[in-house]
Amino acid sequence: MMEPRRILLFGGTFDPPHNGHMALLESACSAVRPDLAVVEPAGIPPHKKASATPAQHRLAMARCFESVWPRVLVDDTEIRRGGKSYTVDTLGALQARWPGAQLYLAIGSDMLLTFRIWRHWQEILQRAVLVVHSRRGGDEPSLREFARSLAAEGGRVVFAPGRVLEVSSTQLRQALEAGRTPDGLLPPMVARYITDHGLYRPSARPEDGEP
């Protein structure tokens, strides 16, 4: 198989992955048509509490993304690396693994608007093209204004239009822990996995406090 020339990185905690994530990856792939989409479950996300769900479960559930695009790699680089997961480090690892490939980074609109607090965000702009998908209706004007400010600093931003699903993993965990089934918001494979492995039961709630 030929080495990929266009690689899309799609990272997240995926605790659990949901249909909003599926829509984001689908729209990003349609926009840039990568040779390879790399799905990267985070070890410890830098701006959130550490996930209480073991990494092997989040990695297994992330296989739902394999149905989105012909060539998807569910990767465990951040999990194996340990510690907090920084996107700039993962992009560096991808460049070392596939030198010469053009990298793209898929992010939701909420992540774009906080992009300047990311670790070494200027370096991220040098390493990858940002591919942005809206996660909230009506936010496009503010997104495009922010994208213009990044472009003035050398950043490249591609907008990936697609269906907007206003759903979060936090909301889904809360519903599941309360015994409610979030109909239509989870990929069927993920819903089955959660049931089969008894995830997100009331006794499985994460402890309060910082990691």
Task: Output the domain CATH number for residue 97.
Answer: 3.40.50.620
Task: Determine, yes or no, domain membership for 147.
Answer: yes
Q: Let me know if residue 110 belongs to a domain.
A: yes
| Cα 128 from Cα 125, distance rounded (Å) | 6
In a domain, 66, yes or no: yes
Examine residue 190 and state whether it is found in any structural domain, yes or no: no
pLDDT tens per residue, range 122-156: 999 999 999 998 766 667 788 889 999 999 999 99
Check whether the bond before 54 is cis (ω within 30° of 0).
Answer: no
Residue at 175 is within a domain: no
Does residue 47 sit within a domain?
yes
In the chain, the number of structural domains is 1
pLDDT in tens, 98-109: 999 999 999 988
Q: Does a structural domain hold residue 171?
A: no
Residue 152 forms part of a structural domain: yes
190: CB partners within 8 A, 6+ apart: 16, 17, 18, 61, 64
pLDDT along the chain (211 residues), means of 10: 90 95 95 98 73 91 98 96 90 96 94 92 97 77 90 93 84 92 92 95 50 29
Domain around 21:
6-166
**Percent of the residues in the chain that have a pLDDT greater than 90, as a whole number:** 71
Spatial distance between the Cα atoms of 18 and 45, rounded to a whole number of angstroms = 18
User: From CA 5, how far away is CA 14, in angstroms rounded?
Assistant: 26
